[in-house]
């Protein structure tokens, strides 16, 4: 038995959109799937029962941050990340490659790896392609991402070539780390190359030769225009193996997800739904709702009258605004439940439309809306 397998189940006849099932040691994932982000082994403010009730099949954590605290070895001694955080479903861990990009002022990078100062204590942390996989083995996760070099955009061609070549060298070294063929983790390679399609082509071809368990499209949502991101995804995703899962890293506005599904992407993650919730910005079927606005102080309606989440079934806008204004800890929990429910229901709608053969209608509807599906484009009346 292998540590992962992917089975395509339905294909949209007019696009690359597909429904599938990804089997992992801790369970199956229905795709297309959105992974709630639990960077430190917790989706902020939510218990694991909340995640199960919302319909999440898989969650994402971050290797770099867990290495910083409490440490991968401590988590291993405590029974692994699943037992540590009380989650019995699949877990994917990002490698820390994004921190190579986002914490540029705190790190030094060379061809052998990356050195960081622990932001929580100042001690030096060294990540190599090999140690990154070893940390994820110690965590006991289902899917491990290789360490990659993510270039900020815009970037000149020489910078993109150097980052791509380093990513490929690190990917090959990552595969050399011994892993249990049944327990895993499954290892995903990451396609880099910025906005240069010929570099994306070269990177994906060389990664496919290495035969990873799955493939990710990285280096997007880092400063480029939406149309440029769509162009790269539409080019890259269909060229990845059809029998392996395809993951678009860190991209999470609803309309971006639908466009990427149309290109053939199976997996998504983003902090957007929970971060927006903590700031009082809610996704609703009618558009954006900014909870701090005083107009809601007497409003007895739910956040979204077309939503059946726990929050909308039990609490009014007026009460939720009150909790938000007084900064009660219940507010971010209830608002996060709503936003994550919105995302999980969106993925259910995507899957069902593909299975029913009418995904094209969903895609056309998303593109035709004046406000889009982004909460930044329209406010609720």
Q: How far is CA 162 from CA 132, 169, 192, in A?
A: 20, 11, 10
Cα 241 from chain centre: 20
- Long-range Cβ contacts of 225-234 (<8 Å, 24+ apart): 226/256, 228/195, 229/256, 230/256, 230/259, 230/260, 230/263, 231/195, 231/197, 232/195, 232/197, 232/200, 233/259, 233/260, 233/263, 233/265, 234/263
Q: What is the DSSP letter of 146?
A: P
Task: Spell out the residues 6+ positions from residue 166 whose beta carbon is closer than 8 angstroms to its own.
Answer: 111, 149
Q: Enter the tokens of residue 134.
A: 């070893």
Q: How far is CA 96 from CA 100, 129, 184, in A?
A: 7, 10, 19
Task: Spot the catalytic one: 12, 94, 148, 149.
Answer: 94
Q: Which residues pair with 24 in a beta bridge?
A: 27
Contact status, residue 187 vs residue 247, Cβ threshold 8 Å:
no
Whether 94 sits among the annotated catalytic residues: the reply is yes
Q: Enter the tokens of residue 73.
A: 């070895």
Task: Spot the catalytic one: 50, 266, 269, 304.
Answer: 269
Rounded distance between C-alpha atoms, residue 107 and residue 254, angstroms: 33
Give the active site residues. Answer: 94, 269
């Amino acid at each position: 038995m292998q540590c992962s397998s992917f089975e395509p189940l339905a294909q949209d006849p007019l696009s690359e959109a597909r429904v599938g099932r990804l089997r992992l040691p801790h369970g199956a994932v229905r795709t297309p799937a959105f992974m709630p982000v639990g960077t430190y082994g917790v989706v902020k403010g939510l218990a694991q029962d909340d995640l199960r009730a919302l319909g999440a099949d898989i969650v994402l954590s971050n290797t770099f941050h867990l290495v910083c605290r409490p440490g991968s070895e401590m988590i291993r001694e405590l029974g692994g990340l699943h037992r540590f955080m009380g989650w019995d479903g699949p877990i994917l861990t990002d490698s820390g490659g994004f921190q190579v990009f986002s914490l540029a002022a705190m790190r030094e990078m060379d061809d052998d790896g990356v050195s960081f100062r622990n932001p929580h204590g100042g001690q030096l942390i060294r990540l190599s392609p090999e140690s990154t996989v070893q940390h994820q083995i110690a965590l006991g996760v289902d899917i491990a991402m290789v360490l990659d070099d993510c270039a900020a955009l815009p970037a000149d061609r020489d910078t993109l070539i150097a980052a791509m070549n380093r990513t490929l060298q690190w990917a090959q070294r990552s595969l050399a780390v011994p892993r249990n063929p049944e327990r895993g983790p499954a290892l995903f390679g990451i396609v880099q190359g910025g906005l240069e399609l010929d570099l994306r082509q070269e990177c994906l071809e060389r990664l496919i030769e290495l035969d990873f368990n799955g493939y990710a499209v990285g280096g997007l949502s880092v400063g480029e225009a939406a149309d440029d991101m769509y162009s790269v995804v539409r080019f890259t995703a269909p060229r990845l193996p059809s029998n392996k899962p395809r993951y678009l890293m860190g991209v999470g506005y609803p309309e971006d997800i639908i466009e990427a599904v149309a290109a053939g992407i199976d997996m998504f993650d983003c902090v957007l739904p929970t971060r927006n919730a903590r700031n009082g910005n809610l996704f609703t079927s009618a558009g954006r709702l900014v909870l701090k606005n005083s107009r809601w102080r007497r409003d007895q309606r739910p956040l979204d009258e077309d939503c059946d989440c726990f929050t909308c079934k039990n609490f009014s806008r007026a009460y939720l605004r009150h909790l938000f204004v007084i900064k009660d800890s219940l507010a971010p929990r209830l608002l996060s439940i709503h936003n994550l429910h919105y995302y999980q229901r969106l993925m259910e709608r995507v899957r069902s439309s593909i299975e029913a053969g009418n995904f094209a209608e969903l895609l056309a509807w998303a593109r035709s809306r004046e406000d889009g599906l982004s909460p930044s484009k329209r406010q609720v009346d």
